[in-house]
Amino acid sequence: MEDTCMESILSQLDSGLTVDFNHSFTVVEDRQKHPRITLYKNSGRIADQQRRWREELAAVNRKKQRDGKFDTNRGLRSLEDATQEDTEDDSAPLCNPWSQKPKNYRGKSWRSYSAHLMLAEWLLFLPPMFHENYMMKLCPKGRHVFVWAAQGSTRIISRTGWVLKKTVSRLPGGGLGQSEHQNATYCTMLDCILLNLTAPSGDNSMQICDGDNASTDLPLEFKVLDLIRYRGTCYASLPFRERSCWMEQYLHSQIEESQEDDPVRFEVIPAYPCDLESMNAVLSVKPKYEVDGILFYHEVVTYEPGATPLVGWLKPYMLTEWFPEVTLHPDHMADIPADYTDYRNEVRAQEERARCKHKSPNKQANCDPVGEHSISN
């Protein structure tokens, strides 16, 4: 009886260990990816973005609290100093603290800003309280540039610090419609999208045009994304909602001021709330310009250099996956790729094309051609 049971067990083991020689020598390509590898990699990236999102938001909130305490203490200190000054001898010489600069004073170069524009990241997860805490902007197709107006001239600078063009504008410090003193004193810095300036093939910089010859060129059109500095006042440390309020309500007419023969024109891009009603109202109508993507700003994000998870980026045709309740105008779906499946695969494909773009020319032959420049790349 025991021998019979043992033989039965051994036969079951043999059948379980049977090797199918028809498939044992199947050759598997080393570069072939398992179907689940995409899910694994994306889940890791999503978790990493969530972690960095929490860390940066916490850092912004800590800075806000720290600045609030500093302002409070500064107010008390000013009151104390004012009380002490009343008791001091009136014959003491008075001096303006802004009349002279320290001997070791060294102002920041525009290059320290130009190569450090704030950039968006692909939106890989929907943050909590998104519809309440986020605002969006429709980013037009064009080139992401830094506009710096000072010393009577206006420079258009690429993200890497190349001077694309030198001209004049009516921005404070930009050279047009201002006195010599104002041009020497004022300084303006804007984060913009340049619509109609394209560099020659294979050239990262453009020929610099003198301000006197700028009027012979076609007028340059800028869409203003963000406000960094205006007339010498820095707005970078303000939350995005406050920067937008300043730019759209108080400085709007001054930024957009122009005359017919001006070489440059600026238009402020408005920011909209991200509640479903507002998104439907904005995205269901025909856009006024060709939209490259949608920028999603957290309302408390300050203007910091480099990419930040607090500013998200999506192509218009990706919105239906994130917000199925939102109705899109057909123009927003015009650029959808023929092989589009979902946003994760499209993000990976665009990043691969961006990597190919930065390879050496002899290695770029096997890469797909890179599409339109976007702010998120």
CATH topology for 109-359 is D-amino Acid Aminotransferase; Chain A, domain 1 (3.30.470)
Report the pLDDT value the prediction gives residue 34, as an integer from 0 to 100. Answer: 44
Report the pLDDT value the prediction gives residue 17, as an integer from 0 to 100. Answer: 55
Q: Residue 1 burial (CB < 10 Å; 0-12/13-18/19+)? A: exposed
351: DSSP letter: H
Q: Helix or strand or coil: residue 139?
A: strand
Res. 147 pLDDT band, cuts 50 70 90:
very high
More confident residue, 214 or 346: 346
Q: Mean pLDDT: which of 18-27, 151-160, 308-317, 365-374 is highest?
A: 308-317
CA distances to 50, 103, 185, 194, 211 from 253, in Å: 38, 38, 21, 19, 23
Spatial separation of the C-alpha atoms in residues 369 and 348, rounded to whole Å: 15
Q: What are the boundaries of each domain within the chain?
A: 109-359
Q: Which stretch of 21-25, 176-180, 298-302, 355-359 has the lowest confidence by average pLDDT?
A: 21-25
Nearest alpha-carbon partner for 141 in 221, 33, 55, 25: 221
Distance of CA 44 to the CA centre of its chain: 22
**Residue 295 forms beta bridges with which residues?**
137, 313
CA neighbours closer than 13 Å in the CB half-sphere of residue 135: 17
- Identify whether the C-beta of residue 340 lies closer than 8 Å to the C-beta of residue 317: yes
Nearest alpha-carbon partner for 336 in 362, 359, 318, 360: 318
Q: Which stretch of 138-142, 200-204, 302-306, 357-361 has the lowest confidence by average pLDDT?
A: 200-204
Res. 42 pLDDT band, cuts 50 70 90:
low
Q: Which stretch of 5-9, 229-233, 363-367 has the lowest confidence by average pLDDT?
A: 363-367
Res. 90 pLDDT band, cuts 50 70 90:
very low
Does residue 26 surpass a pLDDT of 60? Answer: no
- Identify whether the C-beta of residue 343 lies closer than 8 Å to the C-beta of residue 323: no
Q: Helix or strand or coil: residue 70?
A: helix
The end-to-end CA distance of the chain, in Å, is: 74
Res. 109 pLDDT band, cuts 50 70 90:
low
Write the single-letter amino acid at 41: K
Q: Helix or strand or coil: residue 330?
A: helix
Does residue 160 surpass a pLDDT of 70? Answer: yes
Structure-token match 């509640």, residue found: 275
Structure-token pair, residue 312: 């998200």
Res. 112 pLDDT band, cuts 50 70 90:
low
Write the single-letter amino acid at 303: Y
Backbone φ and ψ for 170, nearest 5 degrees, come out as -95, 10
Mean pLDDT, residues 130-145 taken together: 95
Res. 356 pLDDT band, cuts 50 70 90:
confident
Spatial separation of the C-alpha atoms in residues 36 and 39, rounded to whole Å: 5
Report the pLDDT value the prediction gives residue 162, as an integer from 0 to 100. Answer: 86
Structure-token match 């260990």, residue found: 17
Other CB atoms within 10 A of residue 336 CB:
14
Does residue 357 surpass a pLDDT of 50? Answer: yes
CA distances to 220, 228, 264, 314 from 258, in Å: 12, 20, 8, 32
Mean pLDDT, residues 121-147 taken together: 94
Each residue's pLDDT tens digit, 293-312: 999 999 999 998 888 999 99
Q: Which stretch of 55-64, 125-134, 223-232 has the lowest confidence by average pLDDT?
A: 55-64
- Identify whether the C-beta of residue 246 lies closer than 8 Å to the C-beta of residue 227: yes
- Identify whether the C-beta of residue 135 lies closer than 8 Å to the C-beta of residue 244: yes
Each residue's pLDDT tens digit, 247-256: 999 999 999 9
Angle separating helix axes 37-87 and 343-357, nearest 10 degrees: 80
Mean pLDDT, residues 172-191 taken together: 90
Give the angle 307-127-282 at the CA atoms, nearest 5°: 85
Q: Helix or strand or coil: residue 90?
A: coil
Spatial separation of the C-alpha atoms in residues 182 and 295, rounded to whole Å: 34
Does residue 178 surpass a pLDDT of 70? Answer: yes
Report the pLDDT value the prediction gives residue 12, as an integer from 0 to 100. Answer: 64
Spatial separation of the C-alpha atoms in residues 75 and 69, rounded to whole Å: 10
Structure-token pair, residue 51: 């972690």
Res. 334 pLDDT band, cuts 50 70 90:
very high
